[in-house]
């Protein structure tokens, strides 16, 4: 059963389920809620304490479900609300908490409120739910300002009404994702209902999509232009008119009060985790100030190069900043928007981005050059990714696992153009391939596609032939497999008194190319990021190692957990 510990979220191990690609129980090539239920035993064996489910709502899937047509139902491709309830209950029965995605920045153009807005006149209350504006120029033929979309192209789409072209509406992402106007109290009220709807159903937390983008500066002033495209810069910079506006404080405190209202129910605290790329770190920390959100994703780890000095600085920076506000740090190695960690660490340069930043104008050329020219060494990348997993789970705070990381899956870098589905691919004329390569359905068993994802239907994205050896069944019981490593490490983490929330102390007995820290009582972590072998501290006993050791010698790109002599 789920514990009632109110602090469960301070050291949770959260597994991200991307429902389309997790498990396909009805054999239609797309994952579903029944499939998720069928794999809960696997997740329990893995040792995770929570799951985060990416959007499962009714959606035209213009952006993989982040275009929500109904926030209080389940897409029929994925199942039913009753099945979602069963999933929550079955997860709780196994001691696993459930977080789901809240997508408050934008809806789908199929959402009834947006349909009503289109059918209503300019200036109507229906249009006031979104950002409708007249265009510039004599006939209003030009967008209201120069803002660019994060998926490429302008951030404004013109409405074509029965009498021809009329107003424009704002979409930070695809045109099928109109932005809600959070200055409108009716939008606040609509989402209050959504949040309560899911908390009432027993959901333990919400991952807030684009948490730093909800409020827009009312002046809608132009942003500096990217000369390559002639559009305004869409990514964060201090003073940007839509990122990290002061109004977020009010919105977040309001949501926190709703969540706190559930604290006395038997499930313990309901929580939020923000998806926000706000910089600098001191600005992001305002999101987790007392009375605001519980946690925010720490994307620093995701983009940190595999280099001891950079990692240590990144860890310190985050631990210090979070401790100052009393929030736990989250640690993230991957998600459905990022090149899989095995592949990132298998490139000659290991700290390159592939988030939504990667698809904005100012990044397009650098991104394309990087990802499709640099070769990948998957064996090296996997060795490092395994060491990074031990680092992640040894650090104080909450750890996030993106589905398939526990199998050591690489990015699928050679998906044919014809199967690509990411709106970024289409909106950049194919210059950016997008995020499909990390969303390929999981291999569960068998020697050929669909590898137990479904019974025999072709999965919505094709799986590579090399994945036979990476399936969960192939790795089960293999002592050296990545799956076994994750299970072993998470089992130790669950009971070791030094792990989870708390602090660490760096040891300086090793050169700067080695990460070595201790946690009380009696725990040591060592990762060898040098090119040379390193010897374990004397008297230390190995609890788990990310790769083979030669006696007390730790080879390069290998990490160990240690039990230290008293
Ligand atoms: C962040 C999500 O993780 C990503 O998948 C999505 O495309 C954007 N937000 C827009 O919702």
Q: Is the CA virtual torsion 426, 428, 430, 432 positive or negative? A: negative
CATH says 502-563 is which class? mainly beta
List the domain boundaries for the chain. 8-106+185-486, 112-170, 502-563
Distance CA 231, CA 517 (A): 46
- Ligand 1 midpoint to CA 173 (Å): 8
* pLDDT tens sequence for the chain (566 residues): 566 788 999 999 999 999 999 999 999 999 999 999 999 999 999 999 999 999 999 999 999 999 999 999 999 999 999 999 999 999 999 999 999 999 999 999 999 999 999 999 999 999 999 999 999 999 999 999 999 998 888 999 999 999 999 999 999 999 999 999 999 999 999 999 999 999 999 999 999 999 999 999 999 999 998 766 678 888 888 889 999 999 999 999 999 999 999 987 767 789 999 999 898 999 999 999 999 999 999 999 998 999 999 999 999 999 999 999 999 999 999 999 999 999 999 988 888 655 444 444 444 545 555 555 678 899 999 999 999 999 999 999 999 999 999 999 999 988 999 999 998 888 877 777 789 999 999 999 999 999 999 999 999 999 999 999 999 999 999 999 999 999 999 999 999 999 999 999 999 899 999 999 999 999 999 999 999 999 999 999 999 999 999 999 999 999 999 999 98
Distance CA 205, CA 272 (A): 5
Does domain 112-170 sit in CATH 3.30.470.20? no
- Ligand 1 midpoint to CA 209 (Å): 6
CA of residue 466 relative to chain centroid, distance: 26
Residue bearing the CA closest to ligand 1, atom 5? 337
Distance CA 387, CA 377 (A): 16
Ligand 1: which residues within 6 Å by Cβ? Answer: 63, 66, 103, 173, 209-210, 275, 336-337
Q: Where are the beta strands (DSSP E) in 18-121?
A: 50-53, 97-102
Distance CA 519, CA 506 (A): 9
Distance CA 400, CA 490 (A): 12
Distance CA 532, CA 340 (A): 26
- Ligand 1 midpoint to CA 480 (Å): 35
3-state DSSP helix/strand/coil % of the chain, to nearest 5: 30, 15, 55
Fold for 8-106+185-486, please state it: TIM Barrel (3.20.20)
State the DSSP string of 485-506: HHHHHHHHHHH-TTSSSS--EE
- Ligand 1 midpoint to CA 543 (Å): 38
Distance CA 149, CA 232 (A): 9
Pocket test for ligand 1, best of 173, 278, 437 (most atoms within 8 A of CB): 173
pTM: 0.96
Residue bearing the CA closest to ligand 1, atom 3? 337
Residue 189: count other Cβ atoms within 10 Å of its Cβ. 10
Residue bearing the CA closest to ligand 1, atom 4? 337
Residue bearing the CA closest to ligand 1, atom 11? 66
State the DSSP string of 200-213: HTT--EEEETTTT-
Q: Which atom of ligand 1 is nearest to the CA of 172?
A: 10
Residue 446 CB partners (closer than 8 Å, separation 6+): 452, 468, 471, 473
Question: With contact defined as beta carbons under 8 Å apart, do 310 and 300 qualify?
Answer: no
- Ligand 1 midpoint to CA 358 (Å): 13
């Amino acid at each position: 059963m789920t514990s009632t510990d109110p602090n469960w979220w301070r050291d949770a191990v959260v597994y991200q389920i991307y429902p389309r690609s997790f498990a396909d129980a009805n054999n239609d090539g797309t994952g579903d809620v029944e499939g998720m239920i069928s794999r809960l035993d696997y997740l329990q064996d893995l040792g995770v304490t929570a799951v985060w489910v990416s959007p499962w709502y009714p959606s035209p899937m213009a952006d993989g479900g982040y275009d929500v047509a109904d926030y209080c139902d389940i897409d029929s491709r994925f199942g039913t609300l009753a099945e979602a309830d069963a999933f929550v209950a079955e997860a709780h029965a196994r001691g696993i908490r459930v977080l789901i995605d809240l997508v408050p920045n934008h809806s789908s153009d199929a959402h009834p409120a947006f349909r009503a807005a289109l059918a209503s006149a300019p200036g109507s209350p229906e249009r006031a739910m979104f950002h409708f504006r007249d265009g510039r120029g004599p006939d209003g033929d030009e967008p209201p300002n120069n803002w660019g979309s994060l998926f490429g192209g302008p951030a404004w789409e013109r409405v074509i009404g029965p009498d021809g072209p009329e107003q424009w509406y704002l979409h930070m992402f695809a045109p099928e994702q109109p932005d809600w106007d959070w200055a409108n109290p009716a939008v606040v009220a609509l989402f209050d209902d959504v949040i309560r709807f899911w908390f009432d159903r027993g959901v333990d937390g919400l991952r807030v999509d684009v948490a730093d983008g909800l409020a827009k500066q009312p002046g809608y002033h132009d942003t500096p232009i990217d000369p390559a495209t002639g559009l305004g810069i869409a990514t964060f910079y201090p003073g940007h008119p839509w990122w990290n506006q002061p109004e977020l404080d009010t919105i977040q405190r309001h949501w926190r009060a709703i969540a706190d209202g559930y604290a006395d129910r038997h499930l313990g605290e309901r929580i939020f985790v923000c998806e926000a790329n706000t910089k600098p770190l001191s600005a992001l920390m305002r999101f987790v100030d007392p009375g605001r959100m519980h946690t925010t994703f720490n994307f620093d780890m995701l983009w940190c190069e595999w280099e001891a000095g950079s990692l240590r600085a990144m860890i310190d920076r985050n631990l210090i900043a979070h401790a100052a506000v009393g929030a736990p740090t989250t640690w993230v190695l991957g998600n459905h928007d990022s090149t899989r960690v095995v592949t990132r660490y298998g490139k000659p340069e290991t700290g390159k981005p592939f988030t939504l930043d990667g698809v904005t104008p100012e990044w397009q050329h650098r991104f394309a050059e990087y990802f499709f020219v640099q070769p990948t060494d998957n064996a090296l990348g996997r060795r490092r990714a395994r060491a990074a997993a031990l680092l992640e789970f040894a650090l104080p705070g909450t750890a996030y696992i993106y589905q398939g990381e526990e199998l050591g899956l690489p990015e699928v870098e050679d998906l044919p153009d014809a199967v690509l589905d990411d709106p970024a691919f289409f909106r950049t004329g194919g210059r950016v391939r997008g995020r499909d390569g990390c969303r390929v359905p999981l291999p569960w068993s068998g020697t050929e596609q669909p590898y137990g994802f479904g019974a025999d239907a072709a999965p919505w994205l094709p799986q590579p032939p090399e994945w036979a050896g990476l399936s969960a069944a192939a790795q089960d019981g293999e002592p050296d497999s990545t799956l076994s490593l994750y299970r072993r490490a998470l089992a130790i983490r669950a009971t070791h008194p030094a792990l989870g929330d708390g602090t660490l102390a760096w040891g300086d007995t090793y050169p700067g190319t080695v990460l070595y820290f201790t946690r009380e009582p009696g725990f040591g972590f060592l990762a060898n990021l040098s090119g040379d072998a390193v010897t374990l501290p004397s008297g230390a006993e190995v609890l788990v190692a990310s790769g083979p050791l030669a006696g007390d010698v730790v080879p390069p790109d290998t990490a160990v957990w240690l039990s230290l002599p008293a």
